[in-house]
Structure 1
Amino acid sequence: MGLSTTATPEPRRLGAPLIALALLLAGAWFLNLNVGFKHVLLLVLGAALGLTLYHAAFGFTSAWRVFINERRGAGLRAQMLMLALAVLLFFPALSAGSLFGNPVTGLVAPAGVSVIFGAFIFGIGMQLGGGCASGTLFTVGGGNARMLVTLLFFIIGSVAATHHADWWFALPSLPATSIVQAWGLIPALLVSLAVFAVIAWLTLVLEKRRHGALQTPVSSAHPGLRRLLRGPWPLVWGAIALAVLNYATLALAGRPWGITSAFALWGAKTLSSFGVDVGSWVFWQAPANAKALAAPVWQDITTVMDIGIILGALLAAGLAGRFAPSLKIPLPSLIAAVLGGLLLGYGSRLAYGCNIGAYFSGIASGSVHGWLWLIAAYCGNVVGVRLRPLFFAGERPATALSGC
């Protein structure tokens, strides 16, 4: 369904936005009654993230695939802008240890074998599953039925990884290290910004070498405020909004944005309801994990924000007039969704996060593991792009596997 040029959405297009708003209001009422107003704000924040991801089409998976296949780097440059803004916002707060008078901590994790392997298979899963963690949620909200399959097996892969996580985490690794704490605020900022600039510059050089000119940005038939509500947004808008919204997450939740820990929790609670003694697994005996497993799921911050992302994307898709789910999924594409989802779920737990928790929020936290995740996941994406033509007819493979 294309974009309308009329001033108001057609009546048949009002269903999805109204449903999304009704669900958000119902969720807000429930959370305020059962948890507290902070969780209401986190739900709204998740919805803002979902709307941003959808309207800006801010996909990590597609951006990496287009660069690997075609050397078009607009998506990667937008990611570098997002990361640059994030470190400028995050590093001072993390260095001080507080934000607006409240304690804050970064997502900092060990960097070792489990991160390398987990991020690598996550990268393959991104290309087979058709999305990353954030991409899976916002496309599900946008009405993509195939991505429901990816999400289901994402959850299965996540909880399966928690059964083996103690073995993986015992493999060689560097301790959890933040460059903000290790180097100091100013050196950490300068080095990070320099690396982002170099990566962005390389994408410019490679794109111009391949095509002679940069790709023209996407345009919109909707000017001004209507474009803000109905999209599509320029990638720059998405990059700025995601950085600011992640900063708001840090302020509200006391830690940066994450996604996939909720998937493991959903899977673990489902297995527990069928009598599986998930609580005996080493992963779920860690104090924070045990507390999450014992508490109602609506108390989990990541769960609340994930639901918000889905509803925000549903709202965005409805406003754009693009919510039109289809259950017609070719068998090879369905198989790729299953395999991709399993790799995404398993890999995200081994790597201490996904493209959001490990890459975006990890690097924004100054975590060394975030940079290791980026390198390993990019290599996995190169392999995944090579494998995609086996499942998606008509796609050409990447010209080489040398991008790692």
Structure 2
Amino acid sequence: MEKRGVSRRKDPKWQIKLAIVLLFISSLIFYYLYNSLAFNLAISWVFGLLVGFTLQRAKICFTATLRDPIFFGLTELARAVILSLLIATIGYSIIQYYQMLNGLSLSGRFVALGWHIPIGALIFGVGAAISGGCASGTLVRLGEGFQLQWVALIGFLLGSVHGAHDADWWYRLFSDYEVPHLHTLIGWGPSILLQVSMLVILYLLAYLWEKHKFDSF
């Protein structure tokens, strides 16, 4: 009797059935967005599903990239994030260089440097430490059934609404701050080389740190 109960709990058929139902519902939502609202919304819906699936399978959490090396000596997530930044650096550099050559405005979000960055980073770090994850990690764990993330999600929504309400005031407050772009300071080639070199060094240091922590046992 006990073996049958164990086998039922391990039986993945209910997950397959649930996946089929969710896939069908997602297809209906895509069909509705595509035909009734806007094509961009339909594409955003599909893109969001793909990103969510990728985050869940990869277990990407930006908080864990800093927490795991310190507490557990694991740097797999940290190296994955560094590698993604390395790829994004090269890709965006190509795109922005092409835009500059053609007289187009550079794509990307440029933020003014100032004291607000370390203060915001501190607030984010404290919140991520208390909730156990960043925004992506919170959503992934919420989907996996972790009940604590419901509390974190409520706080996340309230904070986002309040931030959106006060966003104009913050933008005006830092409107006089300089918004730098590294290529304007040292040129395209040196700036790309500098950033890629720093990321490669961080990747190697993360790898050596994990190797040191586990080889010491």
TM-score by length of 2: 0.80
**Structure 1 residue 172: Cα displacement:** 9.2
User: In 2, are the aligned partners of 1:63 and 1:73 still within 8 Å (CA)?
Assistant: yes
Q: Which residue identity does 1:191 align to in structure 2? A: L
User: 1:192-248 CA distances to partner (integer Å, 9 max, x unpaired)?
Assistant: 11110111122233333333279xxxxxxxxxxxxxxxxxxxxxxxxxxxxxxxxxx
Equivalent-residue separation in structure 1 for 2:27 and 2:168 (angstroms): 40
Counterpart position of 1:84? 86
Counterpart position of 1:211? 214
Say if 1:105 and 1:13 are closer, same or farther in 2 by CA, change over 3 A: same
Counterpart position of 1:71? 73
What is the correspondence of 1:356-371 to structure 2 with a 5 Å cutoff?
none
What is the correspondence of 1:143-158 to structure 2 with a 5 Å cutoff?
143-158=145-160
Say if 1:26 and 1:44 are closer, same or farther in 2 by CA, change over 3 A: same
How many residues were matched structurally? 206
Equivalent-residue separation in structure 2 for 1:71 and 1:108 (angstroms): 33
What is the correspondence of 1:85-164 to structure 2 with a 5 Å cutoff?
85-97=87-99, 105-164=107-166
Structure 2 residue corresponding to 1:38, chosen from 22, 37, 40: 40
**Structure 1 residue 140: Cα displacement:** 2.2
What is the correspondence of 1:345-360 to structure 2 with a 5 Å cutoff?
none
Counterpart position of 1:14? 16
Equivalent-residue separation in structure 1 for 2:212 and 2:176 (angstroms): 38
TM-score by length of 1: 0.46
User: In 2, are the aligned partners of 1:95 and 1:180 still within 8 Å (CA)?
Assistant: no
Structure 2 residue corresponding to 1:196, chosen from 187, 195, 199: 199
Equivalent-residue separation in structure 1 for 2:43 and 2:166 (angstroms): 35
Say if 1:142 and 1:180 are closer, same or farther in 2 by CA, change over 3 A: farther
Equivalent-residue separation in structure 1 for 2:177 and 2:197 (angstroms): 24
Q: Which residue identity does 1:176 align to in structure 2? A: V
**Structure 1 residue 73: Cα displacement:** 1.6
User: In 1, are the aligned partners of 2:90 and 2:192 still within 8 Å (CA)?
Assistant: yes
What is the correspondence of 1:4-403 to structure 2 with a 5 Å cutoff?
10-97=12-99, 105-165=107-167, 168-169=170-171, 170=173, 174-180=177-183, 182-212=185-215
Determine which structure has the larger helix proportion and give its number. 2
Equivalent-residue separation in structure 2 for 1:142 and 1:103 (angstroms): 41
Say if 1:115 and 1:51 are closer, same or farther in 2 by CA, change over 3 A: same
**Structure 1 residue 68: Cα displacement:** 1.8
Counterpart position of 2:3? none
**Structure 1 residue 29: Cα displacement:** 1.6
User: In 1, are the aligned partners of 2:112 and 2:174 still within 8 Å (CA)?
Assistant: no
Equivalent-residue separation in structure 2 for 1:213 and 1:201 (angstroms): 18
**Structure 1 residue 190: Cα displacement:** 0.9
> SS of the counterpart of 1:120?
helix
> SS of the counterpart of 2:55?
helix
Equivalent-residue separation in structure 2 for 1:37 and 1:160 (angstroms): 30
Equivalent-residue separation in structure 1 for 2:29 and 2:216 (angstroms): 47
Q: Which residue identity does 1:203 align to in structure 2? A: A
Instruction: Give the unaligned 5+ runs of structure 2.
Output: 1-5
Say if 1:19 and 1:116 are closer, same or farther in 2 by CA, change over 3 A: farther
Q: Which moved more, 1:178-187 or 1:32-41?
A: 178-187
Counterpart position of 1:302? none
Equivalent-residue separation in structure 2 for 1:35 and 1:179 (angstroms): 40
Equivalent-residue separation in structure 2 for 1:173 and 1:184 (angstroms): 24
Say if 1:133 and 1:181 are closer, same or farther in 2 by CA, change over 3 A: farther
User: In 1, are the aligned partners of 2:112 and 2:178 still within 8 Å (CA)?
Assistant: yes
Identity between Structure 1 and Structure 2 (%): 26
Q: Could you say what the CA RMSD is over the residues aligned between the two structures, in angstroms?
A: 3.0
Say if 1:181 and 1:42 are closer, same or farther in 2 by CA, change over 3 A: farther
